[in-house]
Structure formats: C-alpha cells, structure tokens
Amino acid sequence: MRVRDLLTRAAERYDAPGSPLGTAAAGAALGGFDSGAQWMRLALETLRGRPCTPTAFNYQRLGLIKYGLAGGVALLWAVAACAWQVPWLMPLAAIAFYAVEAQMVFLFPLALDGSARPFGAARRWTRHAGGTVAVMRVVVPLACTMLFGGLAGRGFLRCWCLGCLAVCLW
C-alpha cells in the first residue's frame, strides 16, 4: 500500500462536499482517545455508508495502553542508550516506538468494528499487512504527516485526521 495513495484518498473523503468529517474533527480534538474513537467511528461509517457496531470498550484506556507500551519501549531504549554511554543510539528510540505502535495500528478500527479482542486482532492484521517492517513503512510516513503536516500549512488537525482516515482506508 502506498502512503501517498492512502493520504490522497483520505483527503478526497475528508474534503468532499457534505462530508461531516471536517466539522466533527474540532470536537474530537478535545476529548482524548474517547472522542478520537468517536470521530474514527464516524469516519468508518462515512467510508462504508453504514453504521458500525462497536464493542463497548473504554477507548481512553485502549489509547493509553497502546501509546503507553510504545512510549515505554522508546523510553527504555533511550535510558539503555544513556546507561551504555552510547547516546548516538538515542534517536533509535523513535524506531522502537513505531515498531511497537505498528503492532497496534489497527487497534481502534478493529474495536470499533466489534472485535472482542482488538489487541490480538490488531497483531494478526499487522502480520497480514506484511509484518512489522512493512507496516512501519506506511505508519512512519503517516505519522510524519500527522505530526508535521500542519507546519506545511495544511492544518494540524486536518493532517492528524487524514492519518487516522488513511488507517481506516488501509
């Protein structure tokens, strides 16, 4: 899957006349993972033209677990690099973060689709998508768009939403 194609398709859907996604994005930005999950639910429903039947999860908890694990591994890497006195290895903490995050990139869409065990399902989807390295080849450029696209004048919130929408399309 080409990142550029995913982002182009995401932008077409997000910016389409009558699309509710841009309007709903402002509210989603304020409520943490719960409101982000509700926005992603709207995105999935918009893409499919039918309602989702999400599993009753605490989406705030899912997000904290996902990013806590990824951030914890990155922090552990950085601490180890300092302890081993090889600070030039510290930038690899970002790679460690995304190696863990790649295992859970499909977590929210799967939970919103009704998966009873979204962590296991997300890992299976990562394997089906080609494995950790293949998924990272998509996730890292999407993350760069989400985090830095606003610096290019494309709107920070819009770029964040395009990355989430790209994952839904993927």
Pull the structure tokens for residue 56: 């009753």
Local structure of residue 123 (DSSP, 8 states): H
Q: Structure pTM? A: 0.92
Question: Per the structure block, which two tokens stand in for 165?
Answer: 């929408």
Tally of domains within the chain: 1
Q: What is the pLDDT along the chain (170 residues), one digit of tens a residue?
A: 799 999 999 999 999 999 999 999 988 888 899 999 999 999 999 999 999 887 789 999 999 999 999 999 999 999 999 999 999 999 999 999 999 999 999 999 999 999 999 999 999 999 999 999 999 999 999 999 999 998 988 899 999 999 999 999 99
Does residue 55 sit in helix, strand or coil?
Answer: coil
- Cα separation, 165 vs 120, in Å, equals 22
Query: 30: which 2 tokens?
Result: 């304020």
The angle at the Cα of 148, spanning 91 to 43, to the nearest 5 degrees, equals: 115
State which residues form the domain around 120.
Answer: 3-169
Long-range contacts of 14-18 (CB under 8 A, 24+ apart): 14/158, 14/161, 14/162, 14/165
Note the pLDDT of residue 30. 85
